[in-house]
Structure 1
Amino acid sequence: MSTPPPPARPARLASGPDGPHALRPLLDTVLDALDSGRRARGGPLPAGGPDAVAARIRDVVGDVLPEHGDPDALRDLVHALAEGAADPADPLCAAHLHCPPLATATAADLAVSALNPSLDSWDQAPAASELEALVTRTLAHETGLADSVVTTGGTESNQLALLLARESHGGGVRLVCGVNAHHSLPRAAWLLGLPEPVIVPAPSGTLDPAALHSALTDLGGSRGSVVVAATAGTTDAGLIDPLPEIAGLCAAHGARLHIDAAHGGGLLFSERHRDKLTGLEAAHTVTLDLHKLGWQPVAAGLLAVRHPRDLTVLHQRADYLNADDDTEAGLPDLLGRSLRTTRRPDVLKIAVTLKTLGRSGLGALVDQVCARAREFADLIHDHPRFELHDRPTISTVLFRPAGATDDTVAAVRRTLLTEGRAVLGRARLDDRLWLKATLLNPDTRTEDLATLLKLVEGSTPR
């Protein structure tokens, strides 16, 4: 007869010989609390708005640092977090590029937390360092580039891309991007002390090649010190800039090309949709973000590079981490693989997902959410009380009640949020405010889409 595991004690370690015994009862507690919190919430997000949610959290937490510990803290706080969560696995939670994570990826993340490797030196993460090297090269090759590094997401990747451009071309390198570009790009230029970016019009929601040509011509004296940032999957509408045309203009003007594919990069897994990313391989750097169209727990970003030598500017030396004699003896030097020092191996959950689902499995998920978006667009188009902005490029659908003012559109969204019934985003295009549904849940059904539309209709004043 097997010996039952000892009862959980909060100060026991998660790894080591007793780690599994320590974790099992705690995992039961967490899973039960997640379920009870979800049932208490009863919808895609908590009802009552910010004040009500804050009051419930304050009531549960009480004294943040009590004199004596509370053995029920894990259960109570996980329940409270789940009850007060906006759940991306609920089909009526469709506001942002905030995906429901895969169970296999989440389980892999548990292993990372238990083992707690740190990818700042090989002797802290022997296996993880090799796993990261294998996966980052593979994903870079998917984009048509040579290598990639792991980041915390699109914002860090975009900042790193501009840093590499600055170090290659000097501190006067000029960012040129569309008005549709992610806010992190001009922000990164500011953080890096670069000149004021040149913002190019995007009248149809995508960067205008004629306007880009004009801007690059005006910057002709800066040849070799311009970086153009294109977008493959805009935040507002999921649109993709004309990448081949932009790549051709960059080549003609001697400009460096960065493509922010944080949103759309997952299309690479789909045979049906990957052609939308034609031109990606012409970039010097590409941002990928698998906690969007890759169903990974946050964080799972990457920056792919055409020339691995560009990454040498990240190299740092710290004798306690990468002493010269250790490196010469064959111990891998990890400090040049990130702007961060201590960092967890987020690559494990990505590796497990790639290996478990394969290209066809991930591609099927991409195809499902894109198909649901097209279906939702059809429902809106055929409904007399709604206006559709345009057919979706990826899985984002913009719509609004027909004849509504911008104030009404904003109020409808807030009403649904406050009542805890649906989570929709907002986007301003064509000088009008639109409701935004970003469909990233592959389990969303046709009836869920109809329910979402009915909720919006019911919250719109006649």
Structure 2
Amino acid sequence: MQGPVVTARSARPTVMTDGARRHLFNDRTVARYRHSLSEGVDRVAERISGADRPFTGMSPQRLAPEIAAIDLDQPLGDPSAALDELETVYLRDAVYFHHPRYLAHLNCPVVIPALLGEAVLSAVNSSLDTWDQSAGGTLIERRLIDWTAGRIGFGVDADGVFTSGGSQSNLQALLLAREEALTAAPAGSQLPSDRTELLPKLRIFASAAGHFSVQKSAKLLGLAPDAVITVETGADRRMRPEALERELARCRREGLPVMAVVATAGTTDFGTIDPLPAIADLCEQAGAWFHVDAAYGCGLLVSPTRRHLLEGIERARSVTVDYHKSFFQPVSSSALIVADAASLRHATYHADYLNPARMVEQRIPNQVDKSLQTTRRFDALKLWLTLRIMGADAVGALFDEVVDRAAAAHDLLAADPRFEVVTRSHLSTVVFRYLPAAGQDHERADGANLYAREALAASGEAVVAGTKVDGRHYLKFTLLNPETTLADIAQVLDLLAAHAEHHLAADERRLVRR
């Protein structure tokens, strides 16, 4: 049989394809690759060098029309022109976390070895699902999982996988807990054997100060709307073990199986660490899955001075760690670590084209058997190069610095009559609020604090976060930059007080006019 006819037209790329091919990264375009990346790095370096504030104060109303006006069907064709445009629509108004007066969210400045890893992994573009897509990348990720498990205090049966972030890690941990609960009902119990009947009865316990991803995960996992029971905290914003014990006993009386207890090692708002040993004791007594959300507090795993704050974490069945919070890694870099590798079977699905069961028999390693994702970046490389160039002690020392700075900021606020400060953090978060002068209506403090935060962001001089405590509006510092000094913090406090006072004075004038 005659094969397909190959004409000159079909054998030769069109002019359009020819032009497109010069943008592909391969052995013939390495010079273009070097030049383009060098120009991009230069633009970022110039911005970082010249940034005198963390933000320009740009509003979405002002920036949106500029981006909407760009015709994405008309390419600029030239990297320099595209970078010029990017200056206007992104780099000019980006929020720069490296600046010492960025004090808002859990976004850290990043270390250079991790940026080196980012450049390498993006160019090679390994996918960390199977050995035939990543080879050494598979083993590097596995080695880092083992290293992290060792730092936690898990034994040789531990395992885990890198994820996109703490929310995904928490979701997968609770998926494993759900499956264990649905398949491990004790013989002779009064619980229904059918999983569709058992599922609505499952309960999760989490601190009132815990992360919202627990509630979101419960919804995604098909649990009942009231499946997550929040356990009260004390004045120190830590889960109260006696309150957890009461709730566990209530569920036992009501025939509601406890699927998991989620303790937090570093609450988002307060930086507090739940009493892990006491919670572990209660979980063992109840036979409940003990998960520790250490997305924020995982930096203590490498702290030269504060590792003891995580005592009890080694008794967990699963732990969330976010390297992109307290290991100074670029987003994304997170992992779920489990004490028993066998529990990861609940995330395994064999696809003939990807990871057929016979590959397990052939002892060919892959990571997709453990992951909720299929295609997945080699984010582990960033942490690998960070440890190989800097070392864990250096990363821990940087984290210690920001924790020390937060303690000093707490003391500064406690001594300042303009502000009140909430509980002392175990980590690097400080929650506080501006207080009106004596004789003014304290109910108006909420408005003053909201205004102060928004006015400060609009000025671009600094960025701080906000939250609610007992129904009142508060301000929040999240310190993750070792370059932030106490003088920077004092300057931001003065700016906040000035904005709050301006708001209250304007409010007074409005009241007088009435």
* TM-score between both structures, scaled by the size of structure 2: 0.83
Q: Which amino acid aligns with 1:391?
A: R
Q: Which amino acid aligns with 1:188?
A: S
8 Å Cα contact 2:350/2:356 also seen in 1? yes
- Name the counterpart of 1:202: 233
Aligned partners of 1:320, 1:350: CA distance in 2, in Å? 30
2:167 is the alignment partner of 1:155:
yes
8 Å Cα contact 1:92/1:422 also seen in 2? yes
- Name the counterpart of 1:28: 38
- Name the counterpart of 1:363: 396
Aligned partners of 2:247, 2:34: CA distance in 1, in Å? 60
Aligned partners of 1:423, 1:10: CA distance in 2, in Å? 42
Aligned partners of 1:189, 1:122: CA distance in 2, in Å? 33
Q: Residues 71, 243 of structure 1: CA spacing in aligned structure 2 closer, same or farther, 3 A cutoff?
A: closer
- Name the counterpart of 1:5: none
- Name the counterpart of 1:396: 429
Q: Residues 48, 124 of structure 1: CA spacing in aligned structure 2 closer, same or farther, 3 A cutoff?
A: closer
Find the residue that maps to 1:424 and give its secondary structure. strand
Mapping of residues 26-425 of structure 1, within 5 Å: 26-37=36-47, 42-58=52-68, 62-66=70-74, 69-80=77-88, 81-145=90-154, 146-170=158-182, 171=199, 172-195=201-224, 196-204=227-235, 205-220=237-252, 222=255, 225-403=258-436, 405-425=445-465
Q: Which amino acid aligns with 1:166?
A: R
The offset of 1:314, in angstroms, is 1.5
Sequence identity (%)? 37
Aligned partners of 2:317, 2:256: CA distance in 1, in Å? 16
Q: Which amino acid aligns with 2:484?
A: T
- Please give the root-mean-square deviation of Cα atoms over the aligned residues, in Å: 2.1
Aligned partners of 1:10, 1:105: CA distance in 2, in Å? 31
Any gaps of 5 or more consecutive residues in structure 1?
1-8
Q: Residues 46, 137 of structure 1: CA spacing in aligned structure 2 closer, same or farther, 3 A cutoff?
A: same
* Residues 201-232 of structure 1: CA deviation (Å, up to 9, x unaligned): 22422212111101000111558643111111
Aligned residues: 452
Q: Which amino acid aligns with 2:140?
A: L
Aligned partners of 2:229, 2:490: CA distance in 1, in Å? 42
Aligned partners of 1:150, 1:436: CA distance in 2, in Å? 29
The answer to which of 224-233 and 257-266 deviates more is 224-233
Aligned partners of 2:297, 2:470: CA distance in 1, in Å? 22
8 Å Cα contact 1:206/1:242 also seen in 2? yes
Q: Which amino acid aligns with 1:184?
A: S
The answer to which of 162-171 and 77-86 deviates more is 77-86
8 Å Cα contact 2:434/2:500 also seen in 1? yes
Find the residue that maps to 1:322 and give its secondary structure. coil
- Who wins on radius of gyration, i.e. which is larger? 2
Aligned partners of 1:392, 1:10: CA distance in 2, in Å? 54
* TM-score between both structures, scaled by the size of structure 1: 0.92
Aligned partners of 2:232, 2:279: CA distance in 1, in Å? 14
Aligned partners of 1:35, 1:181: CA distance in 2, in Å? 37
Find the residue that maps to 1:291 and give its secondary structure. helix
Q: Residues 328, 16 of structure 1: CA spacing in aligned structure 2 closer, same or farther, 3 A cutoff?
A: farther
Q: Which amino acid aligns with 1:66?
A: Q
Q: Residues 244, 223 of structure 1: CA spacing in aligned structure 2 closer, same or farther, 3 A cutoff?
A: farther
Find the residue that maps to 2:335 and give its secondary structure. strand
Aligned partners of 2:275, 2:432: CA distance in 1, in Å? 24
8 Å Cα contact 2:248/2:258 also seen in 1? no
2:485 is the alignment partner of 1:445:
yes
8 Å Cα contact 2:103/2:477 also seen in 1? yes
Q: Which amino acid aligns with 1:459?
A: H
The offset of 1:431, in angstroms, is 3.2
Find the residue that maps to 1:292 and give its secondary structure. helix
* Residues 249-291 of structure 1: CA deviation (Å, up to 9, x unaligned): 1112222111111011111111311111111011111111011
- Name the counterpart of 2:14: none
Q: Residues 320, 439 of structure 1: CA spacing in aligned structure 2 closer, same or farther, 3 A cutoff?
A: same
The offset of 1:55, in angstroms, is 3.8
8 Å Cα contact 1:49/1:419 also seen in 2? no
Q: Residues 317, 451 of structure 1: CA spacing in aligned structure 2 closer, same or farther, 3 A cutoff?
A: same
The offset of 1:343, in angstroms, is 0.6
The answer to which of 46-55 and 305-314 deviates more is 46-55
8 Å Cα contact 2:305/2:400 also seen in 1? yes
The answer to which of 278-287 and 163-172 deviates more is 163-172
Q: Residues 17, 223 of structure 1: CA spacing in aligned structure 2 closer, same or farther, 3 A cutoff?
A: same
Aligned partners of 2:130, 2:402: CA distance in 1, in Å? 39
8 Å Cα contact 1:15/1:115 also seen in 2? no
Q: Residues 454, 258 of structure 1: CA spacing in aligned structure 2 closer, same or farther, 3 A cutoff?
A: same
Q: Residues 53, 380 of structure 1: CA spacing in aligned structure 2 closer, same or farther, 3 A cutoff?
A: farther
Q: Which amino acid aligns with 1:393?
A: H
* Residues 328-377 of structure 1: CA deviation (Å, up to 9, x unaligned): 33422332121111111110001111222222101110111111111222
* Residues 99-124 of structure 1: CA deviation (Å, up to 9, x unaligned): 11111101111100000001122111
8 Å Cα contact 1:153/1:302 also seen in 2? yes
The offset of 1:235, in angstroms, is 0.7
The offset of 1:14, in angstroms, is 6.7
Find the residue that maps to 1:369 and give its secondary structure. helix
